[in-house]
Structure 1
Amino acid sequence: MAGYSFGAGVMMQLGAFQFGIETAAYQELSRSTAWRWAAQGRIGQLDGQQFTGPDEETMTLPGLIYPEWRGGFGQLDAMRGMAGKGLPLDLTDGNGNRLGRWVIIRADETQSVFADAGRPRRVEFSLELRRFPDAPAETIAPATATEAAGVSADAPAGQSGAVAQVRGLAGSVSSAATSAASTLQRAADQVQTAVAPYTAVARETLGGVARALAAVGELQTLANRTLAIVGLGSLEISALNRAQNMAMRAAGLTASVSSASAMIRNSAARLEAIGATPAASTAVSNAQAAADAASRLVQQTAAEAGKIKG
């Protein structure tokens, strides 16, 4: 989805993970693209060449994190968590240009300059991505509200207290935000294909999806920063302060994501009034469901964070 830009400091977004100073800043971006040419032997001449299509495309992102300054701990774990889900992730640059779907092939980490308890003050990383073939628009699975997972402040087994609850909630929110962002992006892809003939409606719908994506991205960043700040050895009072901050920040996103749903709902009404094609109506309906799910995620996050009392 072009024409939408992230907030200041965001270099690129993979799934719901945003690369930047506040998380993980890559120092270089290396991209390799190849094409296939099949050789056909010819007697006494150079081999003939038959173009057979695109070949592998890869991207390497080496970077650096100073956890105690910015970025925090847990950024590489978040990347590994996304890779472990075994799903392609949408890649979008800082100007909002969609670069297609990619999969994480490898994540390398080198820690150095250690503090007490072996906590690294410098973390070098390298992320290797491979391009995933984009599915034709008609084969993209519909985005539905049921894809949005609920969130909770349940502490992991064997742990209790505010620290465990806050970390449990932040991890749950981070995972749910990744899913919500992927669903919203697929919905945007469907809208761009099916609603293109209705220019004004497409623009309004994509604007609503972009607004919902921005809210989900902020929620993801909030969850990741909370995980980075609230470690297993943190004080209870520190964890409670982060829970209150999480509740207030999530509540502040409610109006934005609700207005996104309202924009898309208005688009659906306009399509119905002009008798649009079933494909266009379905695409906007899917976008509406995805935005509504994002709205529920934001509201649930604020409510669950507000319940944490230690």
Structure 2
Amino acid sequence: MNIDPLALIGANIREQTENYLDQLPPLMMWGDFIFQLSTLAYSKLTVQDSWNWVAQGRFGKRETLQYTGKKSPTIKFDCELYSELVNSSLLTRGLQRYGLLQDVAVDPVEHLRLQGDLKAPCMLVTGAGKVMGFWVLTGLDQTIDEFKPNSHAKHQTISLSMQFYGPRLNESDAVPEFASLGFTSKESKMQDALKKMNDFLEEHGVG
């Protein structure tokens, strides 16, 4: 039997990388899209708040300022995307509702475009589960600066712009404070698997 040591080393590296990525918690979630290293991670997050002041002219005197309200906050995500780190299964689950599971399933940027095309505000939740209200996607800039031999993107820089819609979709809705991102740690998965195995053994009288 011939054994390729380089193939074994490569398989071991891939397994270690997958295990590492599997333990990383999500950074943030907007609608069905989860920002994390295995989908799309942002390296810079800019939050902008602004207030409206209107100048009122006065004859022969210095103008006065009148406050007219606060503008909707905006968020800008500066992201980098490496194709080798993308976990297509995480994207596929979120894309089932769109009925598109081909090239889009392994392209986080297309996932975001589809969600923006819904023309509806989506809930934004931090990795800690804090609800930041509902936000709309107002801009998406994509730059591909490195390609694979088959012309597919190898490295991309992505810039996303979002604007705050409101704390809830309808006035009658309650304002949630926390939400679950559905993240399960490696330890929790192992404990759950062990519990299922023990339940199976007890059910069948084994042990």
Q: Specify the alignment match of 1:40 in structure 2.
A: 56
Q: Specify the alignment match of 1:25 in structure 2.
A: 41
Q: Specify the alignment match of 1:75 in structure 2.
A: 108
Q: Specify the alignment match of 1:155 in structure 2.
A: none
**How many residues are aligned here?**
149
How far the C-alpha of 1:138 sits from its partner, in A, is 3.9
Structure 1 alignment gaps of length 5 or more: 1-6, 141-188, 193-205, 219-248, 253-310
How far the C-alpha of 1:191 sits from its partner, in A, is 6.7
* RMSD of Structure 2 on Structure 1 (CA): 2.9
How far the C-alpha of 1:29 sits from its partner, in A, is 0.7
Partners of 2:87 and 2:44 in 1: how far apart? 17
Partners of 1:191 and 1:63 in 2: how far apart? 28
State which of 101, 115, 121 in structure 1 corresponds to 2:148.
Answer: 115
Q: Specify the alignment match of 2:133 in structure 1.
A: 100
* Distance of aligned partners of 1:52 and 1:214 in 2 relative to their CA distance in 1, 3 Å threshold: same
How far the C-alpha of 1:18 sits from its partner, in A, is 1.1
- Residues 156-179 of structure 1: CA deviation (Å, up to 9, x unaligned): xxxxxxxxxxxxxxxxxxxxxxxx
* Contact 1:137 1:190 (8 Å CA) reproduced: no
Partners of 1:191 and 1:91 in 2: how far apart? 11
- Residues 220-270 of structure 1: CA deviation (Å, up to 9, x unaligned): xxxxxxxxxxxxxxxxxxxxxxxxxxxxx9xx8xxxxxxxxxxxxxxxxxx
* Distance of aligned partners of 1:81 and 1:117 in 2 relative to their CA distance in 1, 3 Å threshold: same
Q: Specify the alignment match of 1:54 in structure 2.
A: 70
How far the C-alpha of 1:59 sits from its partner, in A, is 1.3
Q: Secondary structure at the match of 1:21?
A: coil
| Identity of matched residues, % | 24
Q: Specify the alignment match of 1:130 in structure 2.
A: 163
* Counterpart check, 1:85 vs 2:101: no
Indicate the structure with greater helix content. Answer: 1
Partners of 2:176 and 2:118 in 1: how far apart? 26
* Distance of aligned partners of 1:92 and 1:9 in 2 relative to their CA distance in 1, 3 Å threshold: same
TM-score (norm 1): 0.43
* Distance of aligned partners of 1:100 and 1:138 in 2 relative to their CA distance in 1, 3 Å threshold: closer
Partners of 1:54 and 1:136 in 2: how far apart? 19
- Residues 130-174 of structure 1: CA deviation (Å, up to 9, x unaligned): 11133586434xxxxxxxxxxxxxxxxxxxxxxxxxxxxxxxxxx
Structure 1 counterpart of 2:63, one-letter code: D
Structure with larger Rg: 2
Structure 1 counterpart of 2:132, one-letter code: L
Partners of 2:127 and 2:81 in 1: how far apart? 19
* Contact 1:61 1:126 (8 Å CA) reproduced: yes
Structure 2 counterpart of 1:107, one-letter code: L
How far the C-alpha of 1:78 sits from its partner, in A, is 0.6
Structure 2 alignment gaps of length 5 or more: 1-22, 89-105, 193-207
- The aligned runs of 1:4-19 (5 Å cut-off) are 8-19=24-35
- Residues 61-102 of structure 1: CA deviation (Å, up to 9, x unaligned): 111111123355310011001000000011111222222211
Structure 2 counterpart of 1:97, one-letter code: K
Partners of 2:176 and 2:124 in 1: how far apart? 18
Q: Secondary structure at the match of 2:109?
A: helix
TM-score (norm 2): 0.62
Structure 2 counterpart of 1:50, one-letter code: Q
Q: Secondary structure at the match of 1:68?
A: helix
Q: Specify the alignment match of 1:65 in structure 2.
A: 81
Partners of 1:87 and 1:101 in 2: how far apart? 9
Structure 2 counterpart of 1:115, one-letter code: K
Partners of 1:65 and 1:25 in 2: how far apart? 7
How far the C-alpha of 1:126 sits from its partner, in A, is 0.8
* Distance of aligned partners of 1:136 and 1:42 in 2 relative to their CA distance in 1, 3 Å threshold: farther
Q: Secondary structure at the match of 1:77?
A: helix
Partners of 1:191 and 1:122 in 2: how far apart? 37
* Contact 1:65 1:71 (8 Å CA) reproduced: no
Partners of 1:26 and 1:58 in 2: how far apart? 16
